[in-house]
Amino acid sequence: MKAKIFILTGIIPLLFLASVMHEPEPGRSMELGKRLFSDPILSGNRMISCASCHKENFAFADTLALSPGVDGRLGTRNTPSAMNMRLQESFFWDGRASTLEEQALIPIENPVEMDLPVDSAIARLNSNAFYRQSFLRIFKENPSKKTLAKALSDFERSLETNNSPFDDWRVNDNEDAVSASAKRGFKLFNTKAKCIQCHFGPDFNNVEFRNIGLFDGSMHVDSGRSAITHKESDLGKFKIGSLRNIAVTAPYMHNGMFKSLKEVIDYYDNPDLIIPKAINRDTILIRPLQLTDTEKLDLENFLISLTDRRFLK
């Protein structure tokens, strides 16, 4: 009897562990991509995955200004959210990729991110029975650059959010979904604060690149888009980021220099106070906005209302 109890107490935790650890085999490209996104098999030292920097709880962004990659190496740009990618036309802060498939493979090879040649990643996947079978089942072929990119990008495409208080207000006519302050903030967003001139559309961004004044050639030296296009007119320009889920994607800007939305709004209100000798700053920001403290708070409340309810506590 005693032996039976011992056996049972030993087996039950094992069964529990097995049930927790067992994940269903991916049946679709997106499901396979989800698995790959969190698997460090795609990094040189097998310690870093896409999810190491694109953290689900923070709308697949990071809370650090710069995310550590393989062996703690730091890049120079803030990890953007991997959500709401479906309608985007360019990827990365400098727009160096024009499709999600192209984007998906670049961090794997980047020496300061995952540092693994894509050919080596493919070889690893081919020598892994689980992945080889999964790729064969889903794509009818062995892992390849094309199918790896397809799986990862399909997963990213699935990360759409449309359940923010703002959506609830506008889509469902639920007047109680956002506060009076957020409604005033929306009006400011469209008028005095000029945000709408760059942040519009379903994801509150657009396809353009703009210089908001974070390049001065001395303290702030990331030239952004011009490193890709080699055009002087693109100096200091960066992709206009989506504002969806912005309450949980701090720190902000391409270099993560602002820790809070308040800091961001203060910057836009009067950029010269933060970076006085910016080069090529957009003419939209040529004069201070002269927002009052109440207006700044209203804007902040509006921005917070763009965050999906799954992230709002």
Site pattern 165..204 for other proteins (x: CB under 8 A): -xx-xxx-x------------x---xx----x---xxxx-
**Is residue 232 at the binding interface for other proteins, with CB under 8 A as the rule?**
no
Q: Is 235 helix (H, G, I), strand (E, B) or coil?
A: coil
Helix ranges (DSSP H) in the chain: 2-21, 29-37, 50-53, 100-109, 118-126, 129-139, 145-157, 165-172, 180-190, 226-229, 261-269, 293-304
Residue 194 CB partners (closer than 8 Å, separation 6+): 284, 289
Site pattern 84..123 for other proteins (x: CB under 8 A): --xx------------------------------------
Q: Catalytic pick from 113, 156, 295, 300?
A: 113
Measured from the CB atom, is 110 or 163 closer to other proteins? 163
- Residue 252 β-bridge partners: 258
Q: What are phi and psi of 297, to 5 degrees?
A: -65, -40
Residue 67 CB partners (closer than 8 Å, separation 6+): 52, 53, 74, 75, 78, 79
Whole-number Å distance between alpha carbons of 313 and 309: 8
**Is residue 27 at the binding interface for other proteins, with CB under 8 A as the rule?**
no
Q: What are phi and psi of 55, to 5 degrees?
A: -90, 125
Measured from the CB atom, is 131 or 166 closer to other proteins? 166
Q: Closest separation between CB of residue 137 and other proteins, Å?
A: 21
Site pattern 47..66 for other proteins (x: CB under 8 A): --------------------
Q: Closest separation between CB of residue 88 and other proteins, Å?
A: 11
Cα–Cα distances in Å, from 224 out to 146, 215, 237? 28, 9, 5
Residue 292 CB partners (closer than 8 Å, separation 6+): none
Measured from the CB atom, is 160 or 266 closer to other proteins? 160
Measured from the CB atom, is 57 or 162 closer to other proteins? 162
Q: Closest separation between CB of residue 265 and other proteins, Å?
A: 19
Q: Closest separation between CB of residue 190 and other proteins, Å?
A: 5
Cis peptide leading into 143, omega within 30 of 0? no
| 83 closest CA partner among 249, 219, 267, 221 | 249
Cα radius of gyration (the chain): 23
Measured from the CB atom, is 86 or 132 closer to other proteins? 86
| 308 closest CA partner among 195, 158, 166 | 166
113 is catalytic: yes
Site pattern 132..171 for other proteins (x: CB under 8 A): -------------------------x--x-xx--xx-xxx
Q: Closest separation between CB of residue 41 and other proteins, Å?
A: 26
Q: Closest separation between CB of residue 82 and other proteins, Å?
A: 15
The count of residues interacting with other proteins (CB under 8 A) is 21
Instruction: Show which residues are catalytic.
Output: 113
**Binding region for other proteins (CB under 8 A):** 86-87, 157, 160, 162-163, 166-167, 169-171, 173, 186, 190-191, 196, 200-203, 244
